[in-house]
Copies of this chain bind each other. A is one copy, B any other.
Amino acid sequence: MANSQRFKFTDLVAGLPSAVPFVGPETLERQRGKPFVARLGANENVFGPSPRAIRAMERAAHNVWKYGDPENHDLKEALAAHHAIPAESIVVGEGIDALLGHLARLFVAVGNPVLTSLGAYPTFNYHVTGFGGDLHTVLYKDDHEDIDALLSQAIILKPKLIYFANPDNPMGTIHPAAFVQKAIDAVPDGCLLVLDEAYVEFAPAGTAPVLDVTDRRVIRMRTFSKAYGMAGARIGYAIGHPELIGAFNRIRNHFGVNRIAQAGALAALADQDFLRDTVSNVAKARVRINTIAQANGLRCVPSATNFVALDCGKDGDYAMAVSEQLARQNLFVRMPFVAPQNRCIRLSAGLPEDLDLVAAALPRALEL
């Protein structure tokens, strides 16, 4: 009997690739046989969580024998107050990644069209493909996601979901709220705009459209992984019409959110002063990365996030070589996946000491 025939996976699963969205830095370290000295490639927030959040997580570790509250009640109430929206318009999940997976499952059947930008967040694509969706893309325009192109294509394609990140990852660029609101208003009937705002706390005021949970055309994705510095805790949330949010309860893993993460997120949300300090520290780090780029005759794509796309000035092969040279000097960075954005390397807004290492390493990396 053929080994490969013994496991009767669904037809859908049998046709899925084994490719993963991202290779983690630990995997690279194991392949290299040595650690990185600066971890600037995974869009993590090196400034970490509020000390109050850390203390809350330390305390919660002692009670981890209890399951977390499957309703995430206290956190949802706090988020509702913070955003001035009803709690029933919020669903908390194991990071935006998990929520994107649920969203794909809610809407995408085999063969359904879904629309995104070529080179945008690959984990969204992973989930859509994983549920058999037919992924369509439009191109970036001047390092921005091109929402006019998305909407034009959406009118033709009638996709179940339209993915749009504001700020964008991997480029860090933004569209102003008024423009995004116009786009929401233009979402065709039967389509849902997935507005991924993972980085929005770093962006200038006027980037996020007003939250309107009566609007059935859009769902907003937020997270504690980025500005709140808790990527490893795996806790994020989605905001939308209560009927849409309620549908997550039909499929989500109800007891899935880590109890320590719940406690940490609640404390992190309460410490908005720390968040403001983080945003300020990140802004300083972005300026520093720009200065380092300029000192090397290069420029950065203007960023509204905690990472910066540094334009290496040539093509993707060259940027890849620069990124490999940086890895040889023990710096972990990543780069956009597709041209022409892949002329850049992408660096997290590091600690001053991280960026000292970048300043020292970059000139050598560019000597190719």
Contacts and interface: CB of A to CB of B under 8 A. Distances in A.
B95 A20 contact: no
A249 B21 CA distance: 10
A199 to B, nearest CB: 15
Interface in A22-75: 22, 24, 26-27, 30, 39, 42, 44-49, 54, 57-58, 60-71, 73
B216 A7 contact: yes
Nearest to A8: B190
Given A24-B67, A44-B66, A234 B254 contact: no
A230 B258 CA distance: 10
Contact of A61 (B94, B106, B264): B264
A257 interface: yes
B253 A101 contact: yes
Nearest to A13: B106
Interface residues of A, number: 85
Nearest to A234: B258
Contacts of A251: 13, 16, 130
Contacts of A65: 44-49, 229-232
Contacts of A241: 7
A64 B39 contact: no
Contacts of A298: none
A254 B21 contact: yes
Contacts of A183: none
Contacts of A101: 253
B255 A26 contact: no
A73 B27 CA distance: 8
Contacts of A225: 67
A253 B63 CA distance: 26
Contacts of A39: 66
A107 interface: yes
A353 interface: no
A310 interface: no
A256 interface: yes
Interface string A228-250: 01111110000001011011011
Nearest to A63: B232
A202 to B, nearest CB: 14
Given A64-B48, A192-B7, A70 B20 contact: yes
Nearest to A39: B66
Interface in A240-278: 241, 243-244, 246-247, 249-251, 253-261, 264
A108 interface: yes
Given A27-B69, A70-B22, A233-B259, A3 B94 contact: no
B70 A253 contact: no
Contact of A95 (B24, B95, B190, B255): B255
Shortest Cβ-Cβ A-B pairs, 5 listed: A232-B259, A57-B61, A26-B69, A48-B65, A16-B250
24 contacts: A7-B241, A8-B160, A9-B247, A10-B105, A10-B106, A10-B107, A13-B106, A18-B246, A24-B255, A39-B66, A42-B67, A44-B67, A49-B64, A57-B58, A61-B264, A64-B230, A67-B225, A97-B253, A98-B253, A101-B253, A233-B260, A234-B258, A258-B261, A260-B261
